[in-house]
Amino acid sequence: MGLIYSLLSNFGNKERNHRILMLGIDAAGKTTLLYHMKLGEPVTTIPTIGFNVETIQLASNAVLTIWDVSGGCPALWKYYLESTDALIYVVDASDRDRLEETTQHMMNLLANEALKNIVLLVLANKADLNDAISSSQLANEMGLYSLDIKWHIQSTVATTGQGISQGLEWLNNILQKLPSHIY
């Protein structure tokens, strides 16, 4: 009887599982953002070789399995695209010298058939630095307004957590409307 009660009490409150891919060129702050999302505090990180995977439980019963893939070799990113519900693309908003490079990598990704209906969250990280580009200017320069997908850009500071919850809230609201997966 306890099992039946347990099953019925959870009816309609099932966890919603989503596979999220977090990409961006090296030194954008992906791993620092990931662990701030997971732990709620900054951690010291080293450059990622390969990938990190963390599961984050949101208050809405959504479970995000976030794959943080090394930015050192963007040619390998294509191997992680399958069954991805959303792409978090991290940009160093203070690195104007690499803006064209990071934009090209993002646009190449979005041209992949596996991502044709992807939800895109761009995190404009390091927004606290003096030479950081505003998120609206970054959206213009990266060509986000020309995209035919659901997207949002959010200024963030990985070391303090600024903007992270707002970005995840937007992502969660969009993902609630998508089918859930079991991984």
140 annotated binding-site participant: no
The tens digit of pLDDT for each residue in 151-182 reads: 999 999 999 999 999 999 999 999 998 876 55
27 annotated binding-site participant: yes
CA–CA dist 124, 85 (Å, integer): 20
Whether the model pTM is above 0.85: yes
29 annotated binding-site participant: yes
Contacts of 33 (CB under 8 A, 6+ apart): 22, 90, 123, 125, 156, 158, 164
167 annotated binding-site participant: no
126 annotated binding-site participant: yes
**According to CATH, what is the number of the domain 14-175?**
3.40.50.300
Instruction: Quote the pLDDT of residue 180.
Output: 62
CA–CA dist 135, 156 (Å, integer): 9
31 annotated binding-site participant: yes
78 annotated binding-site participant: no
111 annotated binding-site participant: no
Mean pLDDT of 18-26: 97
25 annotated binding-site participant: yes
30 annotated binding-site participant: yes
71 annotated binding-site participant: yes
Instruction: Quote the pLDDT of residue 11.
Output: 46
In the chain, domain spans: 14-175
